[in-house]
Chain A
Amino acid sequence: MKDPILSNNERAFVEKAIAEKLRIDKRGLNEFRNLAIFYGKNYGSVIASLGETKVFASVSCEVSTPKTTRPNEGTIFINVEMGSQQNEPCIVVTRILERTIRESNCIDLESLCIVAEEKVWNLRVDISILNNEGNVIDCACIAAVSALAHFRRPDCTASGDGEFTIHKSAEKDLIPIVLHHYPICVNYALFEGKTPIADPTILEERVTNASLILAVNAYKELCSIHLTGVSLTSPYLIQKCSDMAAERAKHIVEYIKDALEQDRIDRENGQAKGFSQSIKLTNIPSNFTDTQEIDQVMDTENDGSGELEEVMADESFEKIDSDTVASTWTKEESDESSDSDVQVIEESPKKKGIINVMEIVDTSSDDEEKETIVLN
């Protein structure tokens, strides 16, 4: 990952634009980029993308001994990696996520206990920041929370005298982690210490180092707060931001729940596509924006500067024309299992299994419709 260079001109331009309540990517001051969540084939792996910022999160578990201070609670460990090695921004993100997820007690750690004082489940959330286009913390938080909500652990039965069995998924259904609430981080970049900008891009983040990160759950409860760069200039700032963040968090939690429900239905029908559903061939140059999208942004960005808009729509790479296609290799539904015995190595042309099929991507299947909510 390369660090972008920030010129003085860019800095001045962004600052001046923000003073006029304008943003370089045409968003409103309280408008977020498009969010998309994709679940993998394995339980607990997720790609979340917020605009071009992309984060991969995966949850895993293993049995270990509990802490002596908390003998009947499981543990959770969060690890964030950006690029190839750990660096300072990673540690900041890790710390904020720890406070948001672990210290808000959103996970029922007692349910992770197998034998008190001896064996508990140890959860590990690995977060890998694939692409940083600003507002990594929001994206990482959404990825982590949705990965935890998606994760299933093996069932476990204790049979007296400290012995227990861990069941395979074939024997007993895997069970989800108990989440009391879904804390969502919402990051506001602060310009001149008082103008909050929702979902800052990397350029905006670099122009102002000040930011206010609030973790709010769907019940509008503040879980953690993190202020960097400036001291508070207005007593109403936190109140104002946390109100806005609460709305945002509510939408995101709904979005995560919808995505989970969709994934559950797909899995029940045996159609879990994994990450292949995220693959489209449209966003070929990465900075490619189709005109339709710009129109849509323009629409939402109506004149009222005091109005707060919030747009949560499909990820931009989902907005594709129906005639564009993804190149997919579909193999024949083969009869591998039925005829096992006699087949000789001979090249018969019709046996060449693979056919090159152009599969038309079904854009209408995703039920996350664009929704525009105007708040007053």
Chain B
Amino acid sequence: MLKMEADKEILNLKPITAEMNILSRSDGSVIITQGDSSCIVNVNGPTEVVSMANMDMNKAYMEVSYRPRCGIPGVNERYKEKIIKNICETVILTALYPKSQINIQIQEMDDGSGIFACVINACNVALLNSGIEMRSTMAAVHCVLDDKDNLIIDPIDYSDDTPTFSRIQKAVRNSKYKADFTFVFESLKESVISVNTNGNFTIHQYNNAQKLCKEASKKIFEFYCDLARKYANVI
């Protein structure tokens, strides 16, 4: 019933490379490239709370700052910050760090397709690197629905538009697909902890996308294991 005739099953993810500890002044940092997207994330914390208004007696306060590749951060970036903050609060054991603050800084470097998934994966690796206690790890997978109703996992999309810092031009990008999904899974029960969608799709397509992304997320969890194994060798 979930089967769709024109559906392609491509569990290919774009090549991921990551390097931890690239910034000496941060508690945890990572540079990650995922196909045509890349970003640097650094995590600092737990530190004292900068503004007393944000102090929480029961858990750590999270602050996320997202810097776009070019131009000043605007509404889009605030929106992404909010989502990332929510996701991170889900996976971090914030109750272990009361009256303190955890800062996550994200610098987008190549904003190709699936940059948001790339950023979330980078946040996860940076958090692992920083040694902040986490409930589980998380993996984000990007998936699009093209004009022929095919679901494509993590498409390679060489956009030919030139870099611009005006927000209006940024917003009209990525209109070549019917819809795109970014699913975030946690590692314990492999359940969805966040979904971010754009465009029009049916519930079947959504379910299919989720199913595909869940399969693909296993590869990312494997990648985390690989990464941890390599670093554990040296440390």
Contacts and interface: CB of A to CB of B under 8 A. Distances in A.
Contacts of A84: 63, 65, 103, 105
Contacts of B164: 60-62
Nearest to A170: B160
A131 interface: yes
Given A54-B22, A81-B67, A40 B9 contact: no
Contacts of A1: 25-26, 44
A43 B29 CA distance: 25
Contact of B69 (A42, A47, A341, A343): A42
Nearest to A333: B12
B16 A329 contact: yes
Contacts of A344: 3, 7, 9
A100 to B, nearest CB: 20
A205 interface: no
Given A52-B24, A276-B38, A354 B12 contact: yes
Interface in A310-332: 317, 326-332
Interface string B88-116: 00000000000000010101011110000
A131 B23 contact: yes
Interface of B: 2-26, 29, 31, 33, 36, 38, 40, 42, 44, 63, 65, 67, 69-72, 103, 105, 107, 109-112, 148, 150, 152, 160-166, 169, 208, 211-212, 215, 219, 222-223, 226-227, 230-231, 234-235
Contacts of A5: none
A45 B112 CA distance: 13
Interface string A210-254: 000000000000000000000000000000000000000000000
Contact of A43 (B152, B163, B208, B212): B163
A261 to B, nearest CB: 21
B163 A44 contact: yes
Contacts of A352: 11
A16 B29 CA distance: 34
B51 to A, nearest CB: 12
24 contacts: A40-B109, A42-B110, A54-B23, A58-B69, A59-B163, A61-B163, A61-B164, A62-B164, A62-B165, A83-B105, A126-B70, A130-B40, A274-B33, A274-B110, A275-B31, A275-B109, A276-B38, A285-B234, A286-B24, A287-B24, A329-B16, A331-B15, A347-B215, A354-B13
A285 B166 CA distance: 39
A286 B231 contact: no
A375 interface: no
A343 B8 contact: yes
B15 A131 contact: no
Given A56-B109, A62-B166, 18 more contacts: A40-B109, A45-B69, A45-B109, A45-B110, A126-B71, A130-B40, A131-B29, A276-B17, A276-B33, A279-B18, A284-B235, A329-B15, A329-B16, A329-B223, A336-B10, A340-B150, A345-B7, A347-B215
A331 B13 contact: yes
B21 A328 contact: no
A284 B229 CA distance: 12
A89 interface: no
Contact of A327 (B17, B107, B162): B17
Contacts of A288: 234
Interface SS of chain A: loop
Interface of A: 1-2, 40-45, 47, 52, 54, 56, 58-62, 79, 81, 83-84, 124, 126, 128, 130-133, 152-154, 168-170, 174, 274-276, 278-281, 283-288, 317, 326-332, 334, 336, 340-347, 351-354, 356
Given A58-B69, A131-B24, A286-B23, A356 B226 contact: yes
A62 B169 contact: yes
Contacts of B162: 43, 61, 152-154, 169, 174
A127 to B, nearest CB: 11
B70 A345 contact: no
A84 B4 CA distance: 46
A330 B4 CA distance: 28
A1 to B, nearest CB: 5
Contacts of A168: 160-161
A58 B163 CA distance: 9
A343 B9 contact: yes
Contact of B7 (A41, A128, A334, A343): A343
Given A41-B36, A153-B162, A281-B230, A353 B11 contact: yes
A169 B11 CA distance: 31
B163 to A, nearest CB: 4
B223 A327 contact: yes
Given A62-B166, A279-B31, A346 B9 contact: yes
Contacts of A126: 69-71, 165
A72 B57 CA distance: 59
